[in-house]
Amino acid sequence: MRPSAPAIFRIARRAERLGSAASPALAGGSKLPVFLRRHESCLTLGAVRRRRMPSGRVSALWRYPVKSLLGMSVPEASLTAAGLLGDRAYALIDLETGKVASAKRPQLWRRMLELSAVADADGKLAVRFPDGETVALDAPSLDARLSAFLGRAVTLRTQPRDEEALDRAVPEQVLEAGEHSEVESTHLTLAQASPEGGFFDYAPFHMVTLNSLEAVAAAAGDDTIVAQRYRANIVLDMPDAEPFAENGWTGLELTIGPDVALTVIGATPRCAVPMLAHGELPRADGALTKVAELNRIELPEFGAGRYPCLGAFAVLKRGGGAAVHDAVSLDGAR
């Protein structure tokens, strides 16, 4: 599913309707850097919101070094314009199609979620297989080992190329036909809202609140519906936030600890991945069906229709270090 235009451009149109008087400093003639000018309307929306939003703390930080492999919880991380340092830094490439291999097309790639990207005490990365074997990312044997495990020839790519893309199965069809069945897929060009490209689905940061996760788990009656299924970088504990509050954060600034600030650019539509088995976590249809029941919203930047959403995308405003338990707050008024 390729966005018809980056979310930031849709936000821009909404901001224009508010009028430049809402934030004269951000009106025409801004001297902001090129990338921030592309996000200027996000800042404008934030400028016209005047009250302080819910606050809380970082509950968890997650790094997924290899796209669609299981990742690792980290106690602290550096946040840069290219995302949480080391996140989605690598991807597997399908040698037949040239596309990024992704569990978003589970009929081909669901077994990627049995593999983990792990780091040793020195930070050297490796892939851990279900039998416990680990193969370093720089090992000459890795491509062959991965290809044998996945049943399809792949190679590890360490630097993203322009217009990297993947196939995204229609999630409703995966639910109906099953993860082993071939269903319709859409073409997704990666990193459309990432200033430095990369292997991100869309933007360099993805966040979700515990309240939203808990609402889905409660509705499904399934305590295996946890943050790892949704592969967010930043899990937020914001006690005063309503479930799915992330829907309304577009244009707001999220501060993390003393250094970091992110600009929220839109809600996150969900694919088939959350329902799939993740390592020891079993398949959980409710991870997708309950999101669809509880929180479908319009996302014009991704096309017509109402999308099941959980969490929000963001880009960097001010970089630095962040850690679990850091204070977080949203700035703006609704």
Domain with 308, as residue range(s), is 7-331
Q: Is residue 2 part of a domain?
A: no
Say yes or no to pLDDT of 276 above 70. yes
The pLDDT-based confidence of 302 (bands split at 50, 70, 90) is confident
Say yes or no to pLDDT of 100 above 90. yes
b/e per residue, 63-86, with b = 16+ CB within 10 A?
bbbbbbbbbeebeebebbebbbeb
- CA atoms of 93 and 165, how far apart (whole Å): 10
The pLDDT-based confidence of 9 (bands split at 50, 70, 90) is very low
Q: Is residue 1 part of a domain?
A: no
Average pLDDT on 228-247 reads 97
Determine the pLDDT at residue 15: 36
Cβ–Cβ < 8 Å for 170, 186: yes
Q: Is residue 233 part of a domain?
A: yes
Determine the pLDDT at residue 201: 96
Cβ–Cβ < 8 Å for 214, 242: no
pLDDT digits (tens, 9 = 90+) for 117-153: 999 888 899 999 999 999 999 999 999 999 999 999 9
80 CB-near residues (< 8 Å, 6+ apart): 316, 319
Q: Percent of the chain, pLDDT > 70?
A: 84
Say yes or no to pLDDT of 76 above 90. yes
CATH classification at residue 288? 2.40.33.20
**Ramachandran category for residue 286: left, alpha or beta (phi over 0 → left; psi -120 to 50 → alpha):** alpha
φ, ψ at 74 (rounded to 5°): -125, 145
pLDDT digits (tens, 9 = 90+) for 24-49: 333 333 333 333 444 444 444 444 34
The pLDDT-based confidence of 332 (bands split at 50, 70, 90) is low
Average pLDDT on 91-114 reads 98
Average pLDDT on 67-92 reads 97
Overall domain count for the chain: 1
Q: Is residue 101 part of a domain?
A: yes
Helix 7-18 vs helix 40-47: crossing angle, to nearest 10 = 40
Say yes or no to pLDDT of 7 above 60. no
- CA atoms of 101 and 110, how far apart (whole Å): 10
Q: Percent of the chain, pLDDT > 90?
A: 74
